[in-house]
């Protein structure tokens, strides 16, 4: 294996991606393949044999990907996944905040236990890079803005608590065993392929109905919205930077928008005013709601990354995607799913 502290490059050997069937994971896989990297992609096993968002990758690219079905909760499956690769991009996680109120133990098992399995497997196999995915939700409501990596971590949901645990576990493996861990902390990512349960696809799916009525929870929370291809490129940039090893690095734009402003922006793109109806079922518990997230991504910028896609340009691509896959979003447009 190449040295973890010198000139390792993505093209030095095959890499594994966990959570490859997810929204960001599928875009990371695609970005890697376009760079000429050999990818082994772990998708969550299911009886239907589906591959999640990887189904949207163009067939010629998809044919080059080694798809493995399994579960990060299984240490034997993870060890097998990592055998013979140079690096792992660990994106597998349970991410829905509302569901973490209902099934917190499953979040601990997947987000903390799954990360432990990846770290142990990477250590045993001597990987040159271990890229672990964090989330801006670990910061809780901003105590100051923009939020840099020194901001306190405040878990306001069981989901956030498990991600904080996974981050600290990953960093402990760097300090304890010199495992070359890089923690990437994306702020709110949006774009094509995102689950219908996320806020922007939810707004768009409802906006494209005949009524145009948009049912939402609170309109006040503000989020730093980064287009998914920019986020995926950030993973690749940080993976090749030895300076990122042992550190947490934010990915975000440095600008925030309220949920209400998101609705207005979607309305401008679809060319109609969107009436908003408050839906109590969509409102987080008061002390669990994260009111503002806005990134200080100067550390990532110093390492050569910056966002390239403007918010409204990315939003227009989401509208186009939802229109093209109307059936996938029909249920979300009709009723709320946690």
Q: Which residue, 90, 88, 34, 87, is CA-closest to 62? A: 34
Tokens of 202: 């939810």
Q: Tell me the residue range of the domain where 235 lies.
A: 10-187+226-251
Question: Is there a single domain that holds both residue 97 and residue 117?
Answer: yes
Question: Is there a single domain that holds both residue 326 and residue 243?
Answer: no
139-176 core/surface letters (b: 16 or more CB in 10 A; e: else): bbebeebbbebebebbbbbbbbbbbbbbbebbbebbee
Question: Is there a single domain that holds both residue 105 and residue 18?
Answer: yes
Q: Is there a cis peptide before residue 77, judged by omega within 30 degrees of 0? A: no
Looking at residue 209, which CATH number applies to its domain?
Answer: 3.90.25.10
Question: Is there a single domain that holds both residue 162 and residue 269?
Answer: no
Tokens of 270: 């679809």
Q: Is residue 1, in this structure, part of any structural domain at all? A: no
Domain count, the chain: 2
Q: Is residue 39, in this structure, part of any structural domain at all? A: yes
Question: Is there a single domain that holds both residue 133 and residue 174?
Answer: yes
Rounded CA gap, 156 and 141, in Å? 8
Strands 257-258 and 222-223, sheet pairing? antiparallel
Looking at residue 176, which CATH number applies to its domain?
Answer: 3.40.50.720
Dihedral (CA of 100, 106, 110, 111) sign = positive
pLDDT tens per residue across all 338 residues of the chain: 444 456 899 999 999 999 999 999 999 999 999 999 999 999 999 999 999 999 999 999 999 999 999 999 999 999 999 999 999 999 999 999 999 999 999 999 999 999 999 999 999 999 999 999 999 999 999 999 999 999 999 999 999 999 999 999 999 999 999 999 999 999 999 999 999 889 999 999 999 998 878 999 888 899 999 999 999 999 999 999 999 999 999 999 999 999 999 999 999 999 999 998 888 778 778 888 899 999 999 999 999 999 999 999 999 999 999 999 988 888 766 667 67
Question: Is there a single domain that holds both residue 231 and residue 325?
Answer: no
Query: What pLDDT shows up at residue 168?
Result: 98
């Amino acid at each position: 294996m190449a040295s973890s502290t010198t000139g390792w490059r993505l093209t030095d050997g095959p890499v594994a991606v966990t959570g490859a069937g997810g929204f960001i994971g599928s875009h990371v896989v695609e970005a890697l393949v376009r760079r000429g990297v050999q990818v082994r992609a772990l998708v969550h096993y299911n009886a239907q044999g589906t591959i999640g968002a990887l189904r949207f990758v163009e067939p010629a690219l998809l044919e080059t990907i080694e798809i493995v079905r399994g579960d990060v909760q299984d240490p034997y499956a993870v060890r097998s996944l990592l055998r013979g690769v140079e690096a792992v991009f660990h994106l597998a996680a349970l991410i829905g905040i509302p569901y973490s109120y209902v099934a917190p133990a499953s979040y601990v098992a997947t987000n903390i236990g799954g990360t432990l399995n990846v770290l142990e497997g990477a250590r045993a196999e001597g990987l040159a890079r271990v890229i672990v995915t964090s989330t801006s939700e670990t910061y809780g409501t901003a105590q100051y803005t923009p939020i840099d990596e020194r901001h306190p971590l405040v878990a306001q949901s069981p989901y956030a608590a498990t991600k904080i645990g996974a981050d600290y576990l990953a960093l402990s493996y760097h300090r304890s065993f010199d495992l070359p861990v890089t923690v990437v902390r994306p702020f709110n990512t949006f774009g094509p392929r995102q689950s219908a349960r996320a806020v922007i696809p939810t707004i768009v799916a409802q906006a494209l109905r005949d009524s145009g009525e948009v049912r939402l929870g609170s309109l006040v929370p503000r989020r730093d919205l980064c287009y998914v291809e920019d986020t995926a490129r950030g993973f690749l940039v940080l993976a090749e930077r030895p300076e990122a090893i042992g550190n947490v690095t934010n990915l975000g734009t440095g600008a925030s928008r309220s949920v209400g402003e998101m609705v207005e922006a979607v309305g401008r793109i679809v060319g109609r005013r969107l009436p908003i109806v408050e839906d109590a079922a969509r409102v987080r518990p008061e002390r669990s709601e994260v009111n503002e997230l806005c990134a200080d991504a100067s550390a990532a910028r110093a390492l050569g990354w910056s966002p390239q896609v403007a918010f409204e340009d990315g939003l227009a691509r989401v509208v186009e995607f939802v229109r093209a896959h109307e059936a996938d979003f029909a249920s979300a447009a009709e009723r709320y799913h946690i």
